[in-house]
Amino acid sequence: GENVEQHPSTLSVQEGDSAVIKCTYSDSASNYFPWYKQELGKRPQLIIDIRSNVGEKKDQRIAVTLNKTAKHFSLHITETQPEDSAVYFCAALASGGSYIPTFGRGTSLIVHP
């Protein structure tokens, strides 16, 4: 089955800095890669996703890149703000099946004012 590794487990940055979270996956059939943000005590919510036919996708301060050859994808947050503090989860899945995403273990991002 699919295996998703996520690093780092904790990331501490100063407000205004950039943050990068990296994930690797094992199954070459995976073709959809969502990122979820979970604020403390809240539910996970999708913030951005990328499909395997695209190398990069941006949405304001957030971007995701995908390297299919190396089987890794990354989340980039620029100009971090305290409200970006949360746990971020990456996931990978093959869209042709019953849609069972495999999640990474999460990265706790702390943005210091």
Partner 1 sequence: NAGVTQTPKFQVLKTGQSMTLQCAQDMNHNSMYWYRQDPGMGLRLIYYSASEGTTDKGEVPNGYNVSRLNKREFSLRLESAAPSQTSVYFCASREGGVPYEQYFGPGTRLTVT
Question: Binding residues for partner 1, per CB under 8 A?
Answer: 6, 9, 32, 34, 42-46, 49, 89, 93, 95, 98-101, 103-106
Residue 51 CB, nearest distance to partner 1 (Å)? 9
Which token pair is 31?
């073709």
Nearer to partner 1, 42 or 61 (CB): 42
Nearer to partner 1, 31 or 65 (CB): 31
35 close to 48: Cβ distance less than 8 angstroms: yes
Q: Which is nearer to partner 1, 96 or 113 (CB)?
A: 96
Least distance from C-beta 46 to partner 1, angstroms? Answer: 5
Nearer to partner 1, 14 or 43 (CB): 43
Measure the CA–CA gap between 113 and 43, rounded to whole angstroms. 24
CA distances 27 to 18, 70, 87, 90, 94, Å, are: 29, 11, 24, 15, 9
In the complex, least distance from residue 1 CB atom to partner 1, rounded to whole angstroms: 8
Is the CB of residue 92 less than 8 Å from the CB of residue 101? yes
Residue for token pair 């409200």: 83
